């Protein structure tokens, strides 16, 4: 999702305000985002079977509006990540699934939009859909919102599986961009063994759980991604980054639109 980290001092958290990148940039600061698109591709040019539902181009997302920087409902990735994702697609197609993509490359402009939204604790229009168990004021403190995102490096993707037999998304027991422990890959199971267990279901603040089949569906996606060089995130079952990403220290800021 999102995962766009903002380091806030305690006083800023207390009063609900913040200052991102205040003052001049010093010699130890991170470099400014770049607009270079040369190593990026349109995802569907490489993975034509992928289904795109780019949530941040629309209004059904945790902010509730189209996100800055999303000019077209398309997905971009580095060429290396897209090639690896094609191998994932071939694997899951053999199982009767297609990849459904919610987000891929994300410009820094979009990350900044998330940060501004999170700072406005009065804007809770989408709370019921994405963070009903949380007060919005804790999103920075609990690291749901960051000022930098792996997506901005171009080799991270948010996705699920689409079942071609039922013509529906595979039931993962939770929605994309849900802010809570229910989104963790180890919720109700052990992703290392693939074993289901309700032992840690108690961490759900509302007492939620998922079924063995829903956990197994999450593992089907996870195992396919790991087989082809992607690494998971420990807080989001849908989020994966190419382990051998070509730009581990570079952040990009060109808009999301079809590359020519």
Residues belonging to the active site: 236
Rg (CA), the chain: 18
- Structure letter (DSSP) for residue 66: P
Per-residue CA distances from 18 to 6, 136, 177 (Å): 9, 14, 23
Output the DSSP codes for 12-30.
HHHHT---TT-S---TTSP
Residue spans of beta strands (DSSP E) within the chain: 40-42, 51-52, 76-78, 97-103, 156-163, 168-169, 189-190, 195-196, 230-233, 236-242
Measured distance CA(120)–CA(114) in Å, rounded = 10
Measured distance CA(245)–CA(155) in Å, rounded = 6
Measured distance CA(259)–CA(115) in Å, rounded = 27
């Amino acid at each position: 999702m999102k995962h766009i980290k903002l380091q806030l001092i305690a006083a800023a958290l207390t009063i609900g305000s913040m200052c991102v990148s205040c003052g001049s940039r010093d010699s130890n600061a991170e470099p400014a985002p770049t607009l270079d698109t040369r190593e990026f591709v349109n995802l569907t040019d490489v993975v034509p079977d992928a289904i795109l539902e780019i949530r941040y181009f629309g209004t059904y997302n945790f902010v509730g509006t189209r996100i800055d920087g999303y000019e077209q409902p398309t997905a971009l990735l580095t060429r290396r990540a897209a090639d690896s994702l094609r191998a994932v697609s071939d694997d899951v197609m053999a199982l009767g699934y297609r990849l459904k993509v919610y987000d891929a490359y994300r410009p820094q402009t979009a990350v900044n939009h998330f940060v501004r939204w999170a700072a406005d604790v009065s804007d809770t229009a989408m709370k019921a859909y994405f963070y009903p168990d949380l007060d919005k004021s804790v999103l920075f403190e609990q690291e749901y919102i960051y000022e930098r995102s792996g997506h901005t490096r171009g080799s991270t993707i948010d996705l699920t599986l689409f079942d071609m037999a039922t013509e529906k998304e595979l039931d993962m027991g939770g929605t994309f961009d849900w802010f809570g422990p229910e989104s963790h890959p180890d919720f109700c199971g052990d992703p290392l063994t693939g074993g289901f267990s309700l032992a840690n279901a108690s961490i759900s603040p509302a007492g939620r759980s998922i079924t063995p089949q829903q956990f197994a569906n999450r593992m089907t996606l996870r195992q396919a991604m790991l087989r082809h060089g992607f690494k998971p995130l420990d807080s989001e079952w849908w989020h994966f980054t190419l382990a051998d990403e070509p730009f581990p220290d570079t952040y990009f800021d060109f808009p999301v639109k079809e590359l020519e």
